[in-house]
Amino acid sequence: MATFSMPASLPAGLDLGERRRRRQALSGLVVLAILLVLPLGIGDVYVRNILILTLMYTALSQAWNILGGYCGQISLGHALYFGIGAYVSTLLFTKFGVPPMLGMVAAGFVAALIALVVSWPCFRLSGHYYAIATIVIAEIVYLLFLNWDWVGGALGINVPFRGESWVSFQFRTAKLPYYYAFLGLAAVLWLASYWIENSKWGFYWRAVKDNPIAAQSLGVRLFRSKMVAAAASAFFTGIGGSFYAQFVAYIDPDSMMNAQLSILICLPAVLGGIGTLWGPAVGAAVLIPLTEVTRSYIGGSGSGTDLILYGVLIMAVATLKPEGLTGLFRIDGRIKPAAAPATGPSGSTHAA
């Protein structure tokens, strides 16, 4: 091996990545602890609802982040998988009596399968072609469901109440269990993201995003990587859809598969920081309450104020601060090291 003279100060101990992970694990525990006890101190149903929605969009956005943030494939039609998840578990429940707790697992798998089918031709396309394809395909499926009687068409499906229980995932008297269910989902996704960041998949996905050609030269299978990311992302999004179907007890294409949902699924990640661990959560925590409050005080949802808000936020983040809010406050811990001391041109000294 090469011999070289010892540099002035070798970075000792944990590297940047390890330090970051410790910070992340700690912050994760703290946040979880807070969120576990939070609803007990809040009695207002309206506020609780906002919390539940915030948790849901955190979960959904984290799922989107797997494909869009880590792997760099921007899906602008992710409501597709949300809707499919909602429909699969609801149909299994209403037509075949399958308890939603099992149904949602099936929903996840069906959503993942659809993602594979949809992505198979699309991943041959580069970035913006893929984004366009996701929009068009989401629209296609939306129209399909709107005109398909077996799934309820435009009228939708009411989720019948069959008694409160976790198995049927229905609670009429108190909404609190839903809070913990969505918290659970968000936590699972946070853990998944935490694991991804330090796994071979995570590294490969980021390589695909940063420089696909270089990634290929190092043995990364581009197509396979993207497909796995798409399936994983869709799986969790589908489960989120199932949860939501049980929560609102009524589904139809307009509420489960519309374009606005697609925006709300990806926006928290964009706002908070695409491809970061805390980005989606931070983004959702800012966006969802803001949306609800805006809607209450500045006209109803028909006034367009929510669209204006989303549009401005997306444009602002995209052009001014692509790293998102976590980049702004360095929450995620990807801190730039202080300017390195003047080293030789090649950053090393080598015995000639």
Partner 1 sequence: MLLEVDGVSQRFGGVLANQDISLTIVAGEILGLIGPNGAGKTTLFNAIAGAIKPTTGRILFEGRDITSLGASGCADLGIARTFQVVRNFETMTVLENIMVGAFNRTGSTAEAKRKALEVLDFTGMSLRRDTPAADLTPPEKRRLEVARALATGPKLLLLDEVMTGLTPTEAQAGVQLVRDIRASGVTILMVEHVMEVLMPLVDRCVVLNLGKVLVEGKPADIVRHPDVVTAYLGERYRASA
Partner 2 sequence: MTAETLAQVVVSGLLTGMIYALIAAGLSLIFGLMDVVNFAHGEFLMTAMYATFVLYITLSIDPLFLLPMVAVFLFAIGVVVYRVLIVRALSVKVNSGMVQIFATFGLGIFLRGIAQFVFSPDFKSLRGTMLSDKTVSVLGVFMPLPQLAASLVCVVAFIGLWLLTTKTHFGRALEATREDSEAVALIGVDRHFIFAMGWGIGAATVGVAGVMLSTFYYISPGVGVTFALIAYVVVALGGFGSLPGALVAGLAIGLVEALTTLLIPPSLKQVGVFGLYLLVLFVRPRGLFGNL
Check if the beta carbon of residue 79 is closer than 8 Å to that of residue 139: no
Closer residue to partner 1, CB minimum distance, 34 or 342: 342
Structure tokens at 53: 């929605």
User: Of these partners, partner 1, partner 2, none, which one is at the site of residue 302 (CB under 5 to 8 Å by kind)?
Assistant: partner 2
User: Of these partners, partner 1, partner 2, none, which one is at the site of residue 214 (CB under 5 to 8 Å by kind)?
Assistant: partner 1
Residue 346 binds partner 1 (CB under 8 A)? yes
Residue 1 binds partner 1 (CB under 8 A)? yes
Give the list of residues 6+ apart from residue 324 with CB closer than 8 angstroms, or none: 269, 270, 271, 272, 273, 274, 276, 279, 282, 283, 317
Following DSSP, what letter does each residue of 233-269 receive, concatenated? Answer: HHHHHHHHHHHHHHHHSEE-HHHHS-HHHHHHHHHHH
Q: Considering only 29-37, 59-67, 72-80, 92-100, which stretch makes contact with partner 2 by CB under 8 A?
A: 72-80
**95: closest CA among 106, 80, 108?**
106
Q: Considering only 76-84, 91-99, 157-165, 200-208, which stretch makes contact with partner 1 by CB under 8 A?
A: 200-208
Q: Which of residues 81-140 bind partner 2 (CB under 8 A)?
A: 121-122, 124-129, 131-133, 135-137, 139-140
Residue 351 binds partner 1 (CB under 8 A)? yes
CA 189/CA 187 separation, integer angstroms: 5
Closer residue to partner 1, CB minimum distance, 2 or 40: 2
CA 93/CA 315 separation, integer angstroms: 41
- Site of tokens 């909602």: 86
Sites of contact with partner 2 (CB under 8 A) = 72, 74, 76, 121-122, 124-129, 131-133, 135-137, 139-140, 143, 147, 209-210, 259, 263, 270, 274, 299, 302-320, 322
